[in-house]
Chains A and B, each alone.
Chain A
């Protein structure tokens, strides 16, 4: 009796894992290594929506949060390289191994499929702050080292590096000139500034835009290759001549487990070409305040540049021996 049942169960399993004749013959799983509802999750879901049409199979989003995104990333690198398990990568996938000696996944333990989007970050102060420009703010920090505080999701998180690289650009100690107050997540960070608990921050645009629009926060500078359409009068870090800060930006990309077969890569190359022009993808990117970067850079080279950039910063700032 037991045997019959296990046989029945086995047949059922067999039915659900069809043989891959031509890719894709079954739904593709996109692992988002962060919780549902956040900026990365929305990016993943937008990609899933737009890609299904061109892929001919649904793309299902699975959230697998933990350890700053590295839990989900590690799982994908250990998955079968059959193209049915892919990863929505973020800047963290290059940043984390750069600043963490024993990171669970190295920056290059993936197959790089395509870049997706750049997500600008904004340096902002509260509306009642006396600082009107970046120079004012830096002047204030210089006058009393350590007295001013900023919120970030961790010392070695991307929104900590925004501020630290800016401080390094003007030859201040990136770790002590302003005091880092760690918070968890974009919502908490924004509240800390709104409630007047910290003096400034530089975090993802999506979390700050509503407060900038309502006039509760004042944007001083954007971390983005070009000015944001919604904030045409706010200068970029690059324009203001901040060399390191000019290179800090958030991004998302599509990764797979190492050694993806060629036909999978070719299929996705075609799909991404079409997604790049897809109206829904573009308008959803606008809604999130990000810029689609599909097809603009070679992802492997870009990831390596990013890794080396943050590695150098980490060494310079003293996070690594």
Chain B
């Protein structure tokens, strides 16, 4: 665990330092030479981050220093559920998030969020209580929709599909 984590952190900051900063942090020519340019700070921070990642990897190799790098056994939190089940549940949730974002333009904000809420209730296992869950899934977004659009004039996307069929 300690080594994987250290490597992930090192790689993450490395990507920022060597790929993202050169491509996405331009140095405007008009900044006076003595003033620190926009890339100074992200560079410093990601170099420091990389150093921390390498340090974490290094500490994990020695039994003696391992406790500094890895304060708790993370597997304790995970329990004994098989890894595949965990990954599947996680995958479904991320998929639900992605579908929600994708469907807002099509189905509109209200309908999409009702579907999102239903998906989440199914995933958390609360869908067993079907009546309560269904009422919450429909009523809560509806109430929030009405509140925000009337009180704060929020303009929620209506959805192109609903518009197309003439609603």
Residue numbers of A with Cβ under 8 A of B are 1-2, 5-6, 9-10, 12-14, 16-17, 27, 29, 60-62, 85, 146, 155, 175-176, 179-180, 317-319
When the two chains form the complex, which single residue of A27, A61, A62, A318 contacts B29, counting CB atoms closer than 8 Å? A318
29 A-B residue pairings within 8 Å (CB atoms): A1-B134, A2-B118, A5-B134, A5-B138, A9-B110, A9-B111, A9-B114, A9-B138, A10-B167, A13-B110, A13-B158, A13-B162, A13-B167, A16-B149, A27-B153, A61-B153, A62-B153, A85-B155, A146-B32, A155-B28, A175-B30, A175-B32, A176-B32, A179-B32, A179-B35, A180-B32, A317-B30, A318-B29, A318-B30
Interface size on B, residues (CB 8 A): 21
How many Å lie between the Cα of A313 and that of B162 in the bound state? 48
Most buried by A among B30, B32, B110, B162: B30
Query: DSSP majority for the A interface?
Result: mixed
A319: chain B residues at CB < 8 Å are: 30
By a CB distance below 8 angstroms, the chain B residues around A175 are 30, 32
Interface residues in B104-119 by Cβ distance below 8 A to A read: 108, 110-111, 114, 118
In the complex formed, the residue of A with least CB distance to B33 is: A176
Chain B residues near A17 (CB, 8 Å)?
158, 167
Q: Are A14 and B167 in contact (CB under 8 A)?
A: yes
Task: Answer whether A29 and B153 are a contact pair too, CB < 8 Å, given A9-B138, A10-B167.
Answer: yes
Is B55 among interface residues, defined by CB-CB distance under 8 A? no
B142 within 8 A of A: yes
Most chain A CB within 10 A, of B35, B108, B167, is at B167
B142 touches A9 (CB 8 A): yes
Q: How far is the CA of A14 from the CA of B165 in the complex (A)?
A: 11
Q: CB-CB contacts of B88-127 with A at 8 A, as 1s and 0s? A: 0000000000000000000010110010001000000000
Query: Contact partner of B155 among A5, A6, A29, CB < 8 A?
Result: A29
Nearest residue (CB) in A for B131 is A1
Interface residue B31 (Cβ < 8 Å from any Cβ of A) = yes
Which residues of A lie under 8 Å from residue B162 when comparing CB positions?
10, 13
Name A11's closest neighbour in chain B (CB-CB). B167
CB-CB nearest in chain B for A62: B153
**Docked complex Cα distance between A242 and B102 (Å):** 54
CB-based contact B167/A5 at 8 Å: no
Minimum CB distance partner of B130 in chain A: A1
Inter-chain contacts of A13 with B (CB < 8 A): 108, 110, 158, 162, 167
Question: C-beta contact mask, B139-155 vs A, less than 8 Å → 1, else 0?
Answer: 00010000001000111
A78 to chain B, nearest CB (A): 11
Query: In the assembled complex, which residues on chain A have CB atoms less than 8 Å from the CB atom of B154?
Result: 62
Q: Which residues from A are CB-within-8-Å of B118?
A: 2
B30's partner among A29, A60, A155 (CB-CB below 8 A) is A155
A309 to chain B, nearest CB (A): 19
* Min C-beta distance of B143 to chain A, whole Å: 11
**Closest B residue to A6 using CB positions:** B111
The interface residues of chain A lying within 8 Å CB-to-CB of B30 are 155, 175, 317-319
A110 to B35, CA, bound (A): 37
With contacts A13-B110, A318-B29, A319-B30 known, what are 4 further pairs, Cβ within 8 A?
A5-B138, A9-B138, A13-B167, A29-B155
